[in-house]
Amino acid sequence: MFNSLKQLLKGKKKTSKYISCEYVQHGFNVDYEDIKMCCFNCHEGGGRQILIDNYKGEMIDWNKFFKEKRKMRELNRQGIILERCKGCIFLKEREWDDEDYISYMVFNHWTQCNCKCRYCFTNEQSDYFNSRKNYNMYPVIKKLADMGKIRGGGEIGFGGGEPALLPEFEPMVNMFLDCGCDNIRVHSSGVKYSNAIERGLKEGKLTLVVSVDSGTPETYERIKRVNHFEKVWENLQKYAQAQTIDKYKAKTKYIIYPGYNDNKEEIDKWIELTLKAGIRSVVLDIEGGWYENNKYNVPDYMYDLLEYAQKRTQEENMKNVELYDRASHMIQHKEEYIKLRDNVK
């Protein structure tokens, strides 16, 4: 990819205000097979631009990395949007700085988990993902920190896999907190309790998102294929009590999964348990595989269900009700996709 940057830059005029995004400017996503620009993929270009291919935890030449980042920033400054970025909702026009630092990082480089969610992408190649080994990102990121190239003001995310199972997870979170990072986001099953997560919640610098996707043990076990429903809600209550500064940093997440939890009764019970745990902030999304196959043919009840979940959380005076990438995309394009769907019929 980087070999073509010089050619694209020829003959273009510079501008001080231009369209770009935080990840092009100062971010990256560490995936299980490479390092990508980001993890967003619902837009026209498809996202997930590869920065370093076939990456397995080797030390990174950060000076070289920043040199290539500068080339990418220059493309955006000259009005060139990368093919994979086209149509992304996170692109915005504003004044961007031209300094070398990282403030946006996402870590998805492991796949081990203490749940067996039916919708997990690892199910498609279970033999490969069950046998692959993790690599340790702590020394790689610590070098970046030692260079003084990590800044707060952005967002650091942990996906996975289950972050709490990583041996380096606790020291990495503590390192980011010590570096002054004040917006760390951890996606967790909630099965294993983490002292680093608790610290981040206490300091008001970490957001925890636990995807329970259910309001009953039966539905939880059908989707997660493990029996940890009660344990997860107990841990959620402990995390909620750790929120001494910002009371809305611990969140429960509900991924609407057709055929499993796509009904109002389950949503009502999920909201009831969330409130009982002392949590007042939630996340809504649509199951990824289903959405990719059906986004141009979404049935009306799915739109209604997502709107119902939003309405119910508002009625309970919940704060920071988030729609993740797929759910947000679905609502934004509702009229367009319904017209397309009905014309096809």
Q: What is the pLDDT of residue 193?
A: 98
Whole-angstrom Cα distance, residue 258 to residue 280?
A: 25
Does residue 3 carry a pLDDT above 50? Answer: no
Which residue would you say has higher pLDDT here, 44 or 237? 237
Widest CA span in the chain: 62
**CA triplet 156, 157, 161: central angle to 5 degrees?**
150
Whole-angstrom Cα distance, residue 218 to residue 185?
A: 28
Full-model pTM? 0.85
**Tokens describing residue 221:** 């076990």
Q: What is the pLDDT of residue 13?
A: 44
Average pLDDT of every residue of the chain:
90
CA distances to 83, 120, 316 from 236, rounded to whole Å, are 41, 22, 18
Does residue 129 carry a pLDDT above 60? Answer: yes
* Residue 66 belongs to a domain: yes
| Cβ neighbours around 310 below 10 Å, total | 17
Which residue would you say has higher pLDDT here, 43 or 322? 322
* Residue 2 belongs to a domain: no
- The closest alpha carbon to 286, from 303, 266, 272, 308, belongs to 303
b/e map of 19-32 (b: 16 or more CB within 10 Å)? bbbbbbbbbbbbbb
* Residue 69 belongs to a domain: yes
* Residue 3 belongs to a domain: no
Q: What is the pLDDT of residue 42?
A: 65
Handedness of CA 139, 144, 146, 151 (dihedral sign): negative
The pairing of beta strand 102-107 with beta strand 92-95: unpaired
- The closest alpha carbon to 181, from 96, 107, 87, belongs to 107
- The closest alpha carbon to 51, from 66, 34, 64, belongs to 34
Whole-angstrom Cα distance, residue 242 to residue 247?
A: 9
* Residue 11 belongs to a domain: no
276 sits in which H/E element: helix 264-276
Q: What is the pLDDT of residue 6?
A: 46
Q: What percent of the chain has pLDDT over 90?
A: 66
* CATH number of the domain to which 164 belongs: 3.20.20.70
What does the pLDDT look like over 5-26, one tens digit per residue? 444 444 444 447 999 999 999 9
Does residue 345 carry a pLDDT above 80? Answer: no
Q: What is the pLDDT of residue 223?
A: 97
Domain count, the chain: 1
Whole-angstrom Cα distance, residue 106 to residue 34?
A: 12
Instruction: Supply the Cα-derived Rg of the chain in whole angstroms.
Output: 21
Which residue would you say has higher pLDDT here, 78 or 14? 78
* Residue 33 belongs to a domain: yes
**Tokens describing residue 102:** 């990282």
What does the pLDDT look like over 237-282, one tens digit per residue? 999 999 988 889 999 999 999 999 999 999 999 999 999 999 999 9
- The closest alpha carbon to 72, from 22, 18, 2, belongs to 2
Whole-angstrom Cα distance, residue 259 to residue 229?
A: 19
* Residue 22 belongs to a domain: yes
**Domain limits at 186?**
17-344
Q: How confident is the model at residue 40 (pLDDT cuts 50, 70, 90)?
A: confident
Amino acid at 296: Y
Helix (H, G, I), strand (E, B) or coil at 175: helix
Whole-angstrom Cα distance, residue 58 to residue 329?
A: 35
Does residue 70 carry a pLDDT above 60? Answer: yes
* Residue 12 belongs to a domain: no
Whole-angstrom Cα distance, residue 206 to residue 82?
A: 31
What does the pLDDT look like over 182-193, one tens digit per residue? 999 999 999 999
Which residue would you say has higher pLDDT here, 95 or 121? 95
286 sits in which H/E element: strand 281-286
b/e map of 226-259 (b: 16 or more CB within 10 Å)? bebbeebbebbeebbebbeebeebbbbbbbbbbe
The pairing of beta strand 35-36 with beta strand 27-30: antiparallel
